[in-house]
Homo-oligomer: A and B are copies of this chain.
């Protein structure tokens, strides 16, 4: 007993982070052979996409998997990009040292963050095959590329370099490669097809990275190609400073301790997002500290007081110090049109609804939720809908059940939106797929393998809201479809069959064909709107045609409004009827008088779009008599759209040149929705 404590203590030692992850390789996504190869592809492709995005290059990525030894489940993976390349002296650290990276301390949206991913691949390769990973890298300003083999000394978390040389790197067509990286690595793995596969991972990656060109050669030598569908790079994201609402006491202590600022007010202004000069002064006042206090010399109680001011627990003149929201230029959403494009490229179906929520903030971290729903034939009606989860443009393929995004889908009662769902909880059933994307400066995963998001109330609520709004869109669509089908039936009866009968009867009776207008009006007694949106493959335009029939006995007067993809650079052409812009993405026409039995036509085409971008037009009306086939315009929502537009325009004007620029909208407005389904509003 006597010396047991000392004996036990003598066995303790420091463990290197690389030893830790070698033993716990399943934390990094290397827990089974089929999954290990997916993880390796994912880490490599994520790095390529991040590097291209940062260097503002349209990515061109090639992935190739071959069987190195069929008997023993050894695969060789090669990935190649056209990114900026990695300078020679950085290669060993990027590939051979865990927790080495550039994005850990930066607050902005990126795929990789921890500096673990690709080194994990190198480590797993070495562990399972004993082989180092071959890296070929060329940067633009050097004529030759570096070729080097990287292994890992896991006891020390250091790279082991071998066979380093410089070579001339030629493309397949023998031209010189300008810049890029190629990684070749051998590992234990099993290539599989199906829902959890390299193929599926790349397919989903292409949905949320429509600017990327991806080519994949599988072990059977078959080539798959996902072409680039937009030349537009994702919005450039800037790193931001931490926001006072997301700061913990220990973090603030450290920031003060490490500060060389001489004045507290300057320190607050320069080290945080959302703190104006005035707010900095007010924070000092609330914390009862002098603005000239030197941060480094602040006592624990001072720092606690400042944190309380940050959190609104200390006030000035009875008021909480008002802080601006953090800027959202650190986020890069995919945006509605591109989600639509991606979805319709991959899943062939009729109805697609998407929704990009405005950015918002959780614990000082800006984030933004985007959702998409695709519904229609060709998908299984009796199975759970396919859930496509993404975080910062990276597909999440495992742990669906444990993921915040899935939980938010499960929390919605989809039965009221036209999908089957046992007990109104859980993943709904039906011929649909639901896409959900979280863009955030701080995506909280449940583990290093980055496969599921951990619980966060604010993100959950925001995602749920997006789902609810999208659900309303789906219900509207299904109701409209049903109504239109009925109307069309009646319509055909009246316009085709009745006249035919009349004609036939007249010819048999040898009497003149009677005027049916009166009878038809009596039967229908309604104003009917007929809309068609079709892709014209000759002109490469989307043709929209709207016809309004007055089958009532009185003259009618309406404004007809439509939504159209103005935000996504669509162009409206051939609109001979004129009309005017009512708000961003909303166009309207006045139809002064429509006599009984008369019809009015509206026709135009949408240019600058591709097939599948725009497949359905929502038609709204202003007027006293209901229009079958169109929705009554919700004026309040229209106002809201106009107001948000105005705010954004003003924010643009005010945006100063420096990096601290922040849109001034407050959260009340931010939470509104600028998506296409908004006009449905009200009690639908």
Query: CA A127 – CA B246 in complex, angstroms?
Result: 12
Q: Which chain B residues border A6 with CB–CB below 8 Å?
A: 87, 139, 141
Query: What sequence of 0s and 1s flags, for each residue 409-427 of chain A, a beta carbon within 8 Å of any chain B beta carbon?
Result: 0000000000000000000
Query: CA A31 – CA B456 in complex, angstroms?
Result: 8
Task: Tell me if A101 and B15 are in contact (CB < 8 A).
Answer: yes
Of A164-172, A321-329, A389-397, A443-451, the segment with at least 4 beta carbons within 8 Å of chain B is: A443-451
**What is the minimal beta-carbon distance from A458 to any residue of chain B, in angstroms?**
12
Query: CA A2 – CA B105 in complex, angstroms?
Result: 25
- The yes or no answer to A85 lying at the interface (CB within 8 A) is yes
Q: Which chain B residues border A72 with CB–CB below 8 Å?
A: 313
Residue in chain B with minimal CB distance to A91: B9
Residue in chain B with minimal CB distance to A153: B254
Tell me whether A154 and B2 are in contact in the complex, defined as CB-CB below 8 angstroms, given that A12-B93, A99-B17, A127-B249 are known contacts. Answer: no
Task: Tell me if B101 and A5 are in contact (CB < 8 A).
Answer: no
Q: Specify which of B89, B129, B303 is in contact with A130 (CB 8 Å cutoff).
A: B303
Task: Tell me if B19 and A104 are in contact (CB < 8 A).
Answer: yes
Task: Tell me if A23 and B454 are in contact (CB < 8 A).
Answer: no
Task: Tell me if A84 and B248 are in contact (CB < 8 A).
Answer: no
**What is the minimal beta-carbon distance from A96 to any residue of chain B, in angstroms?**
12
Query: CA A130 – CA B401 in complex, angstroms?
Result: 36
Q: Which chain B residues border A676 with CB–CB below 8 Å?
A: none
Q: Which chain B residues border A115 with CB–CB below 8 Å?
A: 12, 15
A residues 49-65 with Cβ under 8 Å of B?
51, 54-55
Most buried by B among A27, A51, A89: A27
Q: Which chain B residues border A303 with CB–CB below 8 Å?
A: 130
Task: Tell me if B99 and A15 are in contact (CB < 8 A).
Answer: yes
Task: Tell me if B100 and A13 are in contact (CB < 8 A).
Answer: yes
**What is the minimal beta-carbon distance from A221 to any residue of chain B, in angstroms?**
27
- The yes or no answer to A190 lying at the interface (CB within 8 A) is no
Tell me whether A8 and B249 are in contact in the complex, defined as CB-CB below 8 angstroms, given that A2-B140, A401-B401 are known contacts. Answer: no
Most buried by B among A5, A139, A455: A5
Q: Which chain B residues border A97 with CB–CB below 8 Å?
A: 14
Task: Tell me if A86 and B9 are in contact (CB < 8 A).
Answer: yes
**What is the minimal beta-carbon distance from A83 to any residue of chain B, in angstroms?**
8
Task: Tell me if B101 and A179 are in contact (CB < 8 A).
Answer: no
**What is the minimal beta-carbon distance from A193 to any residue of chain B, in angstroms?**
19
- The yes or no answer to A121 lying at the interface (CB within 8 A) is no
Task: Tell me if B5 and A128 are in contact (CB < 8 A).
Answer: no
- The yes or no answer to A668 lying at the interface (CB within 8 A) is no
- The yes or no answer to A102 lying at the interface (CB within 8 A) is yes
Q: Which chain B residues border A27 with CB–CB below 8 Å?
A: 446-448
Query: CA A16 – CA B32 in complex, angstroms?
Result: 28
Q: Which chain B residues border A23 with CB–CB below 8 Å?
A: 104
- The yes or no answer to A300 lying at the interface (CB within 8 A) is yes
Query: CA A89 – CA B54 in complex, angstroms?
Result: 47
- The yes or no answer to A251 lying at the interface (CB within 8 A) is yes
- The yes or no answer to A223 lying at the interface (CB within 8 A) is no
Residue in chain B with minimal CB distance to A83: B5
Task: Tell me if A84 and B4 are in contact (CB < 8 A).
Answer: yes
17 A-B interface contacts by CB (under 8 A): A5-B85, A5-B139, A5-B140, A8-B55, A11-B102, A12-B115, A13-B101, A17-B17, A20-B104, A22-B250, A31-B454, A127-B250, A127-B251, A128-B250, A129-B249, A130-B300, A399-B446
Interface residues of A (CB under 8 A from B): 1-6, 8-9, 11-17, 19-20, 22-24, 26-27, 31-32, 51, 54-55, 72, 84-87, 89-90, 93-94, 97, 99-102, 104-106, 114-115, 126-130, 139-141, 154-155, 179, 248-251, 253-254, 300, 303-304, 313, 399, 401-402, 444, 446-448, 452, 454-455
Apart from A5-B140, A5-B141, A12-B90, what 17 extra A-B contacts exist at CB < 8 Å?
A1-B55, A6-B87, A8-B55, A8-B102, A11-B102, A14-B93, A14-B100, A16-B99, A17-B99, A26-B444, A27-B447, A126-B250, A127-B248, A127-B250, A128-B249, A129-B250, A446-B446
